[in-house]
Structures are given as structure tokens and as C-alpha cells.
Amino acid sequence: MLGSYAMRSTRRWCLAQSSVFSLASVAALASSALVACGGSEPASTTPATAPSSAAAPAVPAGTRTASPELQALARPSATDSLAVYADLEGAMKLDLARGLLPQVQQMVGSEVPEWKDCVTGLVSHARELVVGGDGSDDGGSLVTVRLAAGTAHDALKTCAAAAGSPPAITLNGADEGVGNDDRATVRRGDVLVIGDPTAIKRLLDAKPAPWPADLALAPDVYLAAIGHGEGVTGRGQLTFTGTKLLGTADITLPDENTARGATQHTAELLKGWNVPGLDAPTSAIVKHVIDSARVEQKGKTMSVTVDLEESPADQARDIGGLASAAIFGVRQYITESKKVEAIAAVRFIGKDYVTVWEGDALDGKPTKKKPMKLHSFPAVPKEVPRGVAYASKPADWKGWEELRFQMEEPQRYQYEIKAAKDGKSADIIARGDLDGDGKTSEIKLHVQVDPKTHALVVPPLPTETDGNE
């Protein structure tokens, strides 16, 4: 069915976006914990030496790069759309990190409880993180994580169980792996690589490459990022020195006029920052950090700097507040991503209803004769799912045969069409209870028959009532 296929595609897109966002947030939380508490330079990373290759800029002396074990399975490049290196060694031994971990566990446990053990293990044992390509010109983005010695096998096993136990795969150069044609995770030693299986295979077969100079960390830098795309390049880093917390980002744009406009727009966004629903104490902390930010233009480059100089206790307070805001943001994003299912579904149902109303072929098959009145379709499932996904069966959708619509993947919403008694209008309704608290949200698309043309009019977007429930 066309509607079901489109729904599957929409859900995959949504899950991909949610996964990327969640990964970035977890990395930010872990690196924030390290920066907030200070500490010594980890011994496991490798002091950099200038590479002999003339194709890449020399890594500055006195900086440090990823450990040899991680570099053997990571190919970040200055041409990647995004490349990140985070040195997380020792972060989870710090008091603040131990304080943040329960918040991460609570967020994951409430939103996707089946992933709680997986995420807890990864955050607790992560030592280094790289986001980048596979070393090829067209390689997709990969995530490479070095874990504490002896923990990677169990981490892979736990996360595979949370993902529904995907089949085992075998790739030359990997100790073990799981996945399918779209996504795979492989382990070699204490390192996990996550991403497209074709890209992982290229990575395993690739020869060692010089480490990007912009991802080499100075003694007080704990995270570096570079980006590239459509005439825009950027680099950023996170630095901690005693009582100073410094975050910088430099974005080079195509010309000075573009840089000037971007600088003004960014300054306005920071000035008017607001997140509805965030509690007052956390909002005050985030505002304090944002107030320390400076946005400047230097030729074609826009520079954003967050510079906090305060006691370690105040830094811990600020980073803890930012972590809470990040968790709040992730929770809101996950909720929004789940709502995509309902919004897409009611719109697809509306299009199918128009097709049936006009008597056209549906999925290449003729429909019944053109109906004279709109009519109702029963709720599926009979009860609104409470904080879980319902796996419907074809028999559940028997009453929807005229529309030939059904959900072929687990659904978090109940769907129903309620027609008015006169048959001149109908509501396509999705009801959900995403947080399982018993309070129901409703996403509704109201369709009606035009009295003059007798055409079925469908609005472009549905309305929401208590959409975050």
C-alpha cells in the first residue's frame, strides 16, 4: 500500500534524525562533565607528531590526537560535513559526571526504557568519541567509540538486544557485528563502529590516514569539531583552564555580506532566547551562559565565543544546568519525533479519503462506486496506547478496507475517522498518550464536503490538543 510505504519512510527519517540528535546530546553531556570538573590530561590519548604526508596540514606539536586503537577505525576528514573528536577519558570518574548520569538514565528510561541499559553502559564506559566519514570522498557519517577495556563486547550485546536482536553479520577486520542492509554496529577490540555497513566495510579495508590538524587537541582542549558544506566551513572547540571555561566556534561563509547577516541574526537569536516549558532555575542558568556569549564578524568569518570565568562550584552549577536543558531539549525532540507518525498518518488518510470520495483508483485498483456521504471508520487499536507502541494485525484494519490503509509498523497512536451525522464532514483523529500518564493528546484533521463543488476539502495540516501528552 502506498500509504503504508510512505509511513515507513517517514518513520525511518524520523528515527534517523532522533538518533543523530540524541548522539550529539550524549556526547555534549559527557564532554561537559569533563570540562566542568577539570582534571588532568588522559594518558591514553596519543601525543601528536607531524605526519610525513604533504596532503594534509601538519598536526601541531604539543597537541594530542586519538589513541592508536581509535585511529585505526576512524577516518575523520576536513571535508566531512561534520567531524568531531571528544576526549572523554576519566570523565565518568568525576563527581559531576556521576551526578549527570542518573539524569541521562531517567530521560532514556522514561522515553525509551528498552534503551536504558544500552545508553547507561555506553555513557559510563566511553573513553573517546569520533564522528566522521569512512575515508572515501562520498562516505556516509560513522560514529566510532572507544570503550573501557573489556566492556565493548557486553555493550554490543546489550544494545543489540535493545534494538530487537538484529542478525549477526561478518565483516573482514571486525571481531563481531550485528545489523542489516541499512545500519550495522561492529566491534574490533574495545572499539565500536556504528553506521552504514558499506561505509564500515570501506573503513575496515582502508589504510591509515593522517589525523586532521583541526581535530588535534591542545592540552586544555577536550572537544574539537569541524564542518564543511556548500561554501561554508566551520571549526569549534571546548577549552578548560582552571577557572576559565571557553567555547569557541568560527564559521567561514562565502562573502562578507553573508557573514554580516549571519552574525546579526545569531546575535538576535541569542538575545531573544527562550524555551517554553523549561523551569525557571534552569532557564536562569542557561541565560547566564548565553549572556557570556559574544558574536563577532571578522571579514567572511562569524565567531561565537562563550567565555565563563568563575569558581569550579559555579561552573559545575552552570554545566549541570546546561545538561538539564539538554535533557529537556532531547525529551522535547523525542516527543516531537513521535508526533511525526500521527501527523503523517492523518494526512495520508486524508489523501486516501479524497481518492475514495472522487471514485479514483487506489493503489492501482478501482474503488467502489463514489460514496454519497462521508462515513466513519473504527478506532485502531480499541484502546489508546499508553506510553508503548502497539503492533497491529491486518485483522485490526478490516473495517478500513475501503481506504486500504493500515499501519504495518508498531504505532504509538490510536486512529479513527468520525463522520458527522449528515455525512458532510468528518474528523480524522490520532489519539496518543506518549508519556503513559493517562492523559490523552489528540491530533485531528477536519475534512468537509464543499457544498458547491461537492469536492472533499482537506486542510494541509492537522490541529493539536495537548500534543505533548
For every residue of 382-397, DSSP letters joined together read: SS--BSS-B---GGGG
- Claim to verify: residue 280 and residue 400 sit in the same structural domain: no
Find the domain containing 196 and state its range: 39-231
Using the CB atoms, write b or e for 282-291: b if 16+ within 10 Å: bbebbeebee
Q: Which of 309, 335, 354 is the endpoint of a domain?
A: 309
- Claim to verify: residue 73 and residue 179 sit in the same structural domain: yes
In angstroms, the CA 325 to CA 283 distance is 8
- Claim to verify: residue 94 and residue 183 sit in the same structural domain: yes
The more confidently predicted of residues 32 and 165 is: 165
The pLDDT value given to residue 30: 36
Q: Could you tell me if residue 17 is inside a domain?
A: no
pTM of structure:
0.62
- Claim to verify: residue 227 and residue 264 sit in the same structural domain: no
The more confidently predicted of residues 353 and 77 is: 353
Q: Could you tell me if residue 147 is inside a domain?
A: yes
Q: Could you tell me if residue 316 is inside a domain?
A: no
Q: Could you tell me if residue 23 is inside a domain?
A: no
- Claim to verify: residue 210 and residue 147 sit in the same structural domain: yes
- Are 447 and 377 a contacting pair, CB within 8 Å? no
Over residues 37-63, mean pLDDT: 53
The pLDDT value given to residue 140: 58
Q: Is the pLDDT of residue 8 over 50?
A: no
Q: Could you tell me if residue 31 is inside a domain?
A: no
- Claim to verify: residue 88 and residue 167 sit in the same structural domain: yes
- Claim to verify: residue 261 and residue 223 sit in the same structural domain: no
In angstroms, the CA 66 to CA 156 distance is 21
Q: Which of 201, 231, 261 is the endpoint of a domain?
A: 231
Above pLDDT 90, what percent of the chain? 28
- Claim to verify: residue 226 and residue 258 sit in the same structural domain: no
Q: Is the pLDDT of residue 146 over 90?
A: yes
Q: Could you tell me if residue 283 is inside a domain?
A: yes
Say how many domains are in the chain: 3
- Claim to verify: residue 269 and residue 408 sit in the same structural domain: no
Q: Extract long-range pairs of 216-222: CB within 8 Å, 24+ residues apart.
A: 216/48, 216/59, 216/60, 216/63, 216/64, 216/65, 217/45, 217/63, 217/64, 217/65, 217/85, 217/87, 218/60, 218/62, 218/63, 219/41, 219/62, 219/63, 219/64, 222/31, 222/34, 222/35, 222/86, 222/87
Q: Could you tell me if residue 330 is inside a domain?
A: no
Q: Could you tell me if residue 331 is inside a domain?
A: no
Q: Extract long-range pairs of 235-238: CB within 8 Å, 24+ residues apart.
A: 238/31, 238/35
Q: What is the pLDDT of residues 85-115, one digit of tens each?
A: 988 875 555 554 555 566 666 656 665 676 7
- Claim to verify: residue 154 and residue 283 sit in the same structural domain: no
Residue 77 CA, distance from chain mean position:
21
pLDDT, averaged across the chain: 78
Q: Is the pLDDT of residue 439 over 80?
A: yes
Phi, psi at 293, each rounded to 5°: -80, 145
Q: Which of 204, 231, 258 is the endpoint of a domain?
A: 231
